[in-house]
């Protein structure tokens, strides 16, 4: 077999066999197929697509390129959740303890923020001492003993994806549906996931801006799960406006803590309950999604979900006094509450601009190596459809640099758009793909 023939076949819209895909993935992972051939192949895939079977074969070849986590014997059913990324998305911080409180152990490997999209690990690292670098042995031990884990990727899971992603990043081949779907699913499957809830965002603050693209990605990932003998459900979630009020690490952590105390913004709480319900139903802890929702809501109200979150923080070395009293969390030196420049109905709060502004303040990274400031961020006090009076507080900026604060104020004023007529609120979800 030769790499050039496989590239030509995909260039000419052919369907690759499992052997050809394996040969190619093994070749570039071992460094035997050079970068220029791997990027040429990625471009052929981007232009000509892949069948569901090819996409699954690619996923499984990337899984086979490294370690896989075997959690059988540790938990009855291995659950996982994945969000395709967004602004203000602190869902995992709430959903994991809720699911664990309902009796389903949950170990999750999460990522860091990149670009305008935030990352779960950065939010948890606002807690002094909290470790996101558990070893595989520590992951398994904690899952067994505590029943919940929230850490970074341990072991050498799906290394082919890491290599291919780096190439895609510099060869214009990131936005390929089969390449994105296989990239995400290879990491989930390598981490042992059997039942997966996918929170696929759509809108101006999402990777997939249109609903059609988000649905296609969701369908592709659900199909991969099916062909790979796993079960997945994908929820198509709005990401035109930020999720919840807070954007920025310690601010988001605080909002998650409020939500775990059965408070928090209504829109964010409702989002978490839907994701948790699907996880509980898929994991066999409830007879229906509705039953699951009631269970999840009951554990938020009972305080058990909050207790599980504390257990998680303690197990991973975090100083629990910071979550017991969130006033201790990192605080910015400058806080400005910005009034609405006019009255009317909010017709848009551009999630991407809000996310980029949080990065500008220091809450996120442009490059993987950038350091972040856990204290800074933004509170967006309204949602689309709200009627706001002139002079009412529209948003608050938490900054550590006066120049950046001024720039942030300008951008955030532009991110808010207005109508004189009533505006329909945005839906939380646009559909479910099973």
Beta strand 429-433 pairing with 231-238:
antiparallel
Q: Is 79 helix (H, G, I), strand (E, B) or coil?
A: strand
Q: Residue 150 in contact with residue 312, Cβ under 8 Å? A: yes
Nearer to ligand URA among residue 221 and residue 399 (C-beta): 221
Taking residue 401's Cβ as centre, other Cβ atoms within 10 Å add up to 17
Convert residues 148-177 into a mask of x (bound to ligand URA by CB under 6 A) and - (unbound). Answer: -----------------x------------
Is 278 annotated in the active site?
Answer: no
Q: What is the C-alpha separation between 171 and 166, in angstroms, rounded? A: 9
Of the candidates 69, 115, 112, 120, the one whose C-alpha atom is nearest the C-alpha of residue 91 is 120
- Ranges assigned E (strand) in 285-400: 334-339, 344-349, 377-380, 387-388, 393-399
Query: Which one of 54-62, 66-74, 180-188, 384-392 is the stretch in contact with ligand URA (CB under 6 A)?
Result: 180-188
175: tokens are 């936005």
Nearer to ligand URA among residue 189 and residue 379 (C-beta): 189
Of the candidates 376, 341, 342, 337, the one whose C-alpha atom is nearest the C-alpha of residue 357 is 376
363: tokens are 């809450």
Of the candidates 146, 80, 197, the one whose C-alpha atom is nearest the C-alpha of residue 308 is 146
- What number of residues does the chain have? 434
Query: Which one of 134-142, 178-186, 352-360, 373-381 is the stretch in contact with ligand URA (CB under 6 A)?
Result: 178-186
Strand order in the sheet with 246-247: 246-247, 377-380, 393-399, 334-339
- Which of 183, 202, 241, 316 touches ligand URA by CB under 6 A? 183
Nearer to ligand URA among residue 104 and residue 180 (C-beta): 180
Closest residue to ligand URA, judged by C-beta, is: 183
Nearer to ligand URA among residue 165 and residue 430 (C-beta): 165
In the set 80, 122, 161, 258, the catalytic residue is: 161
Is 183 annotated in the active site?
Answer: yes
In the set 82, 271, 278, 398, the catalytic residue is: 82
- Which of 160, 184, 189, 191 touches ligand URA by CB under 6 A? 184
Is 112 annotated in the active site?
Answer: no
In the set 83, 182, 183, 186, the catalytic residue is: 183
- Shortest Cβ 251–ligand URA spacing (Å): 24
What distances in angstroms separate CA 413 from CA 118, 170, 348, 406, one per listed residue? 21, 33, 11, 11
* 249 is an interface residue for ligand URA by CB under 6 A: no
Nearer to ligand URA among residue 177 and residue 332 (C-beta): 177
* 190 is an interface residue for ligand URA by CB under 6 A: no
* 121 is an interface residue for ligand URA by CB under 6 A: no
* 323 is an interface residue for ligand URA by CB under 6 A: no
The footprint of ligand URA (CB under 6 A) covers 165, 179-180, 183-184
Catalytic residues: 82, 161, 168, 183, 187
């Amino acid at each position: 077999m030769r790499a050039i023939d496989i590239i030509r076949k995909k260039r000419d819209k052919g369907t690759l066999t499992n052997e050809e895909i394996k040969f190619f993935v093994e070749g570039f992972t071992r460094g035997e197929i050079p970068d220029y051939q791997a990027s040429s192949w990625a471009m052929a895939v981007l232009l000509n697509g892949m069948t569901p079977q090819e996409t699954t074969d690619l996923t499984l070849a990337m899984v086979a390129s490294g370690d896989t986590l075997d959690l059988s014997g540790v938990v009855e059913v291995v659950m996982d959740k994945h969000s395709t990324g967004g602004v203000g998305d602190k869902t995992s911080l709430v959903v994991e303890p809720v699911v664990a409180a309902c009796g389903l152990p949950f170990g999750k490997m999460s990522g860091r923020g990149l670009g305008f999209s935030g990352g779960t690990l950065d939010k948890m690292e606002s807690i002094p001492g909290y470790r996101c670098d558990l070893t595989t042995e520590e992951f398994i031990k904690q899952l067994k003993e505590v029943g919940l884990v929230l850490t970074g990727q341990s072991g050498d899971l799906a290394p082919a994806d890491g290599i291919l992603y780096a190439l895609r990043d510099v060869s214009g081949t990131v936005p390929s549906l089969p390449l994105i779907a296989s990239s995400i699913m290879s990491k989930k499957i390598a981490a042992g996931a059997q039942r997966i809830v996918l929170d696929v965002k759509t809108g101006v603050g999402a990777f997939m801006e249109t609903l059609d693209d988000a649905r296609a990605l969701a369908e592709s990932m659900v199909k991969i799960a099916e062909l790979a003998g796993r079960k997945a459900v994908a929820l198509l979630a709005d990401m035109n406006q930020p999720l919840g009020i807070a954007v920025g690490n310690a601010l988001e952590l605080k909002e998650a803590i409020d939500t775990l105390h059965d408070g928090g913004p209504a829109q964010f709480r409702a989002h978490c309950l839907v994701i948790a319900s699907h996880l509980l139903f898929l994991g066999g802890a409830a007879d229906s999604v509705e039953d699951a929702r009631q269970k999840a809501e009951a554990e938020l109200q009972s305080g058990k979900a909050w207790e599980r979150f504390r257990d998680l923080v303690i197990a991973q070395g975090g100083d629990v006094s910071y979550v017991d009293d969130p006033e201790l969390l990192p605080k910015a030196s400058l806080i400005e509450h910005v009034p609405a420049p006019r009255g009317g109905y909010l017709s848009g709060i551009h999630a991407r601009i809000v996310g980029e502004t949080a990065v500008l303040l220091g809450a996120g990274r442009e490059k993987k190596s950038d350091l972040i400031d856990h204290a800074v961020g933004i509170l967006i006090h309204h949602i689309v459809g709200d009627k706001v009076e002139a002079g009412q507080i529209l948003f608050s900026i938490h900054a550590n640099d006066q120049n950046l604060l001024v720039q942030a104020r300008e951008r955030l004023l532009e991110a808010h758009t207005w109508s004189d007529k009533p505006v329909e609120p945005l839906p939380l979800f646009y559909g479910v793909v099973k």
